[in-house]
Structure 1
Amino acid sequence: MTRRLWSAALAALCAATPVASETAPKDVAFHEGAVEAPLSGAPGNPEAGVTVMTTNALGNCVACHTVAALPDVQFPGNIAPALDGVADRYSEAQLRGIVANAKMTFEGSFMPAFYKTDGFIRPGDGFTGKAAEGELPPILNAQQIEDVVAYLTTLKE
């Protein structure tokens, strides 16, 4: 009997808790490159943002950018602007827009669009040599974008 009550209480709690909403890549609203609304229904986690930024299979931001606050990163890149003080130069909305799709802010940027699923110029299908069919998944999901933005907002002079 007690087990049923706990199960019912848990089910009611889950039903009453709103599911975190996520903005699909095609639905992201850019305004002069900035994205005002968070892409996920959960706040960003700066620690998880560091993981995304320093992991090769994820964002790997440090392949191009240096970050003085991350001195133990192996092989930091220096072909893109240093991220030190980036929170003083850009608002949270601007940072979100740049991480999601930097080309919306900087037209000639070589930074990848981390939250985009279409409009690519003939992307390959893995290592097959054939063009991919249909939409590609974004490099990062909405929560990972928010996590990176949460970390970037800590980088002040």
Structure 2
Amino acid sequence: MPRHAISAALALLSGLAFAMPLAAETAPQDVSFAEDGLIEAPLSETAGDPENGAAIYADKTSGNCVACHAISDRTDAEFQGTIGPALDGAGDRWSEAQLRGIVADAKRTFPDSMMPGFYKSSGYIRPGDAFTGEAGSEPLPPLLTAQQVEDVIAYLATLKE
């Protein structure tokens, strides 16, 4: 094969690599919620990682689930909250579709919930713009990425009674 043909083929292949996303994610505004708040389809093509989800649960700079929820065997997570329900047995109580809907936007399942929508970019009630005290302008970035939501779901699904 002539050298210019090989070069052309490599250029074409490298162009395709840039055109194709590495891992497709559903944008927050494109999430399809069922009437009862479920999200059947994963938000990312990459399967959730329960270890990453466990870290997000306790990380005060990302999920910070620990601020409101407790998991009895998470002695490493200090100051677990009691505002939300304990997450022991979450994998038995809720399906992955239910968990995905609750994490993405809990108010669609539980309208009176204080839980923030971790994967939404609009529909907030007077969101703040960083720490300025000014109302933010929508769309706002979601609190977690689609992959982080899937990681949290994978972790919660492992919590069995």
TM class, shorter-length:
0.7 to 0.9
Work out the percentage of aligned pairs sharing the same amino acid: 57
Q: 1:18 to 1:84 in 2, by over 3 A?
A: same
User: Following TM superposition, by how much is the alpha carbon of 1:123 offset from its aligned partner in structure 2, in angstroms?
Assistant: 1.3
Find the partner of 1:95 among 76, 94, 99: 99
Q: Which AA in structure 1 matches 2:32?
A: A
What is the aligned residue count?
153
TM-score, normalised to structure 1, is 0.88
Q: 1:17 to 1:123 in 2, by over 3 A?
A: closer
User: Following TM superposition, by how much is the alpha carbon of 1:21 offset from its aligned partner in structure 2, in angstroms?
Assistant: 1.2
User: Following TM superposition, by how much is the alpha carbon of 1:69 offset from its aligned partner in structure 2, in angstroms?
Assistant: 2.8
Residues 39, 98 of structure 2: 8 Å contact kept: yes
| Counterpart for residue 136 of structure 1 | 140
Distance in 2 of aligned mates of 1:69 and 1:17: 41
Find the partner of 1:21 among 20, 24, 33: 24
Distance in 1 of aligned mates of 2:58 and 2:95: 22
Distance in 1 of aligned mates of 2:120 and 2:21: 26
| Counterpart for residue 30 of structure 1 | 33
TM-score, normalised to structure 2, is 0.86
Question: What residue ranges of structure 2 are gaps of 5+ in the alignment?
Answer: none
Question: Over the residues paired in the alignment, what is the CA RMSD in angstroms?
Answer: 2.3
| Counterpart for residue 110 of structure 1 | 114
| Counterpart for residue 71 of structure 2 | 67
Distance in 1 of aligned mates of 2:21 and 2:130: 37
User: Following TM superposition, by how much is the alpha carbon of 1:19 offset from its aligned partner in structure 2, in angstroms?
Assistant: 2.9
User: Following TM superposition, by how much is the alpha carbon of 1:121 offset from its aligned partner in structure 2, in angstroms?
Assistant: 1.7
| Counterpart for residue 43 of structure 1 | 47
Structure exhibiting the larger radius of gyration computed from Cα positions: 2
User: Following TM superposition, by how much is the alpha carbon of 1:152 offset from its aligned partner in structure 2, in angstroms?
Assistant: 0.4
Q: 1:126 to 1:16 in 2, by over 3 A?
A: closer
Per-residue Cα deviation, 1:86-115 (whole angstroms, up to 9, x for no partner): 111111100110010111110100011000
User: Following TM superposition, by how much is the alpha carbon of 1:11 offset from its aligned partner in structure 2, in angstroms?
Assistant: 4.0
Higher mean displacement: 82-91 or 12-21: 12-21
Per-residue Cα deviation, 1:48-69 (whole angstroms, up to 9, x for no partner): 0011111011011011111123
Find the partner of 2:82 among 51, 58, 78: 78
Q: Which AA in structure 2 matches 1:64?
A: C
Distance in 2 of aligned mates of 1:15 and 1:135: 27
Distance in 2 of aligned mates of 1:138 and 1:12: 30
